[in-house]
Amino acid sequence: MPYKITVLGTGYVGLVCGVGLADFGNQVICTDIDGDKMDLLSKGFIPIYEPGLEEYLIRNRKEQRLTFEKDVDRAIQNSDIIFIAVGTPSKDDGEVDLAFLQEAVKTIANKSTTPKTVVTKSTVPVGTNRWIEETLKEQNPNIPFSVVSNPEFLREGKAMYDFFHPDKIVIGTDDQKAQKTMQEIYRPLYLLNTPFIFCNYETAELIKYANNAFLATKITFINQIANLCDEIGADVNIIAKAMGMDGRISPKFLHPGPGFGGSCFPKDTRALIKIGEHYDTDMSLVREVVRINEKQRSRMIEKLERLLGSLQGKKICALGIAFKAETDDIRESPAVDIIKILLQKGAQVNLHDPQALENAKKLFENAVNYYEDMYQAMKDCDAIVILTEWNAYRNLALEKAKSLLKQKIIFDTRNVLDPETCHQTGFLYEGVGRR
Ligand code: UDX
């Protein structure tokens, strides 16, 4: 029987989950406190760039499994299962801001008139799901509530694929009925033998942080090895490849670059440090990861200064501002920090990005020149700096670029180009951890 599900919060995670759960055959209502966003989504306008999302959204709306509802209370009342997928951003001190989540829980408590299973998709600190359970019971003792911690591991840019092909589904609850319900909701994955991990709230909450902090650590490790390679003339790509052949290590997340960014890794590593502080437990490894990662941005600037001398008055063609390829998301993007430093140092920035220019304009306004065509952005520049690993940059027409630039310099912070080909074309090429 199709489950009646409401997804509260239509950011990346909420929207992808809503669309995916509908595709599994569930009856899904997506809702959000941002009424304008609901209006846009109802008209078929998708506020984010995520490959594949539009096709799935259109299909499930057409087949009437997916609706967008402005009235949050009504959405809650018309469903049995509520996925909370609201934002849980970082406060200045690194602690997680739970204001949206607390608001959502209070609304669910006050507006529910029938039994509900409340599923937490948002990444939340240890203890939050227990708090949700207690709050719901306290505020509305007449309604039976079940709570499940069900963290999401999807990657932006590959979110639809990840939703349908997850490595695991984590179900954090001791409530056996809720465990069964979750298995039913995810039935197509269960039938495909996707591993389901059943555990308590705290374990599920910590799985998410441990998972992300480990990946962030892996990136940071290879970044430090790359920095060492720069000094000694070794090639980090070959090192990463060789390391990846060790089955215990795996080749994934060993790509060096300007440091990790995005809406998850920076926030989740900072939050894990705070959780450690709260429980008086040493999280110094993760603390170092955060520190080293921030330093990696300035290291990119130092490398550029080694190539160009003073950046004052230099004209830089910045290729990419998204925090990684296949997304328009610039949250905590290393490219944003690097461009900010370039501007502070008196450089002029010509920016190209295939998807993220609109977001960049909101942030940098008139401080940067924006280009839809990457070759136009190169005209009379002192250097090209590749900041995001878009495929378009892997296939750069080097001869054309050479004819447009003032100085023939490429600084490739994502190692997307072949150094040898760049040298042969007459470029001074610099990557990260390889020359
Ligand atoms: C991440 C997790 O992968 C996902 O499981 C979780 O649900 C949310 O956070 P996402 O933020 O979409 O997903 O991006 P991801 O592909 O993991 O990359 C994160 C950052 O690390 C990016 O800035 C990326 O450029 C960087 N990165 C990644 C590297 O610098 N090197 C690598 O080898 C891999």
Q: Tell me the pLDDT of the chain (435 aa) as tens digits.
A: 689 999 999 999 999 999 999 999 999 999 999 999 999 999 989 999 999 999 999 999 999 999 999 999 999 999 999 999 999 999 999 899 999 999 999 999 999 999 999 999 999 999 999 999 999 999 999 999 999 999 999 999 999 999 999 999 999 999 999 999 999 999 999 889 999 999 999 999 999 999 999 999 999 999 999 999 999 999 999 999 999 999 999 999 999 999 999 999 999 999 999 999 999 999 999 999 999 999 999 999 999 999 999 999 999 999 999 999 999 999 999 999 999 999 999 999 999 999 999 999 999 999 999 999 999 999 999 999 999 999 999 999 999 999 999 999 999 999 999 999 999 999 999 999 997
Assigned token pair, 233: 């003339």
The reported pLDDT for the residue numbered 190 is 87
Ligand 1, closest atom to CA 263?
11
Closest CA to 169 of 192, 147, 196, 191: 196
Ligand 1 centroid to 67 CA: how many Å?
30
Q: Is 328 annotated as a binding residue?
A: no
Among 90, 170, 264, the mutation site with the greatest number of ligand 1 atoms within 8 A of its Cβ is: 264
The reply to whether ligand 1 has any atom less than 6 angstroms from the CB of 226 is no
Q: Is 314 annotated as a binding residue?
A: no
The reported pLDDT for the residue numbered 50 is 93
Ligand 1 centroid to 283 CA: how many Å?
21
Catalogue all structural domains in the chain, each as residue range(s) with its CATH number.
4-199 (3.40.50.720), 214-430 (3.40.50.720)
The reply to whether ligand 1 has any atom less than 6 angstroms from the CB of 261 is yes
CA dihedral 302, 307, 308, 310 (to 10 degrees): 30
264 is catalytic: yes
Closest CA to 124 of 276, 272, 287, 12: 272
Q: In this structure, which residue's CA is closest to atom 32 in ligand 1?
A: 253
Asked whether the beta carbons of 101 and 128 are under 8 A apart, the reply is yes
Closest CA to 156 of 81, 72, 49, 78: 49
**DSSP H or E stretch at residue 379:** none
Ligand 1, closest atom to CA 154?
7
The reply to whether ligand 1 has any atom less than 6 angstroms from the CB of 265 is yes
Closest CA to 7 of 152, 165, 131: 152
Contacts of 29 by beta carbon, 8 Å cutoff, 6+ apart: 4, 5, 6, 7, 67, 68, 69, 75, 78, 79
Ligand 1, closest atom to CA 212?
2
Q: What is the CA radius of gyration of the chain?
A: 23
Ligand 1, closest atom to CA 159?
12
Angle 103-104-109 from CA coordinates, rounded to 5° = 100
Among 168, 215, 254, the mutation site with the greatest number of ligand 1 atoms within 8 A of its Cβ is: 215
What ipTM was predicted for this assembly? 0.95
Contacts of 83 by beta carbon, 8 Å cutoff, 6+ apart: 5, 6, 7, 8, 14, 17, 18, 21, 119, 121, 150
Determine the Cα–Cα distance for residues 343 and 241; give it in Å rounded to an integer. 36
Among 219, 220, 329, the mutation site with the greatest number of ligand 1 atoms within 8 A of its Cβ is: 219
Q: In this structure, which residue's CA is closest to atom 26 in ligand 1?
A: 260
Ligand 1 centroid to 156 CA: how many Å?
8
Q: Is 23 annotated as a binding residue?
A: no
Ligand 1 centroid to 2 CA: how many Å?
33
Residue from 30, 229, 264, 317 carrying the catalytic annotation: 264
Ligand 1, closest atom to CA 262?
11
Q: Is 52 annotated as a binding residue?
A: no
